[in-house]
Amino acid sequence: MANVYKTMAGGIFLTFVTAWLFANTPALLSLILDVKTGSPTMLGWIVMFSPLALVLLMGFKMDSMSHGKAAGIFYLISGLIGASMSSIFLVYTDFSIVQVFLVTSISFAALSLYGYTSKKDLSGIASFLFMGLIGIVAASILNIFIGSGALQFVITIIGVLVFAGLTATDTQRIKSDFIRTGGAISPAAEALGLYLNFINLFQMLLSLMGERE
């Protein structure tokens, strides 16, 4: 379990370092973002959607994938998400980003601790939360083309609740898998879900609480 959390923390660190590096290196930023229009370049769209393909790959191949390969894909996902998140350093103040990061970290720790220690079986709400997640992904993709502020606000509010719930249920599931298999789990594969919960929770809280430049 400690390795799962350490792997997740490493992915989060890589994500924010990559995001900061791209945001502060014009040559790198111009590869993924048209600075004149603020729209993603062709490479930017690829960087934005390739993590989804890699997440699906890990999901389908997790049983046959070595720990080393799973870790490599996990950190590749973390870096790509970091590059696509680089615009937060252009939109929000540095203090605001740090502040929301701390809020997210405390909230995540509390939710994960609840999932780890709770005697209540949370698997019953996991399927409901997964359906909510699918709805959020579909609505978010649709809103890329619509650009509705009202829809984005609704997505954000629901997203905070869904990813908060998933943090607790995923933690309990990982603990159960760890006990059931005698510790024979892939830290990177198990850390991926927690990592995605953290990143999405951070982004949604930032859109609600962040102070813009």
pLDDT digits 0-9 by tens, 34-86: 877 778 899 989 998 899 888 888 877 766 778 888 899 999 999 999 999 99
Decide: pTM greater than 0.85.
yes
Q: How far is CA 174 from CA 75, 142, 210, in A?
A: 19, 32, 31
Cα separation of 135 and 137, whole Å?
Answer: 6
Domain spans in the chain, listed from the N-terminal domain onward: 2-209
58 vs 134, which has greater pLDDT? Answer: 134
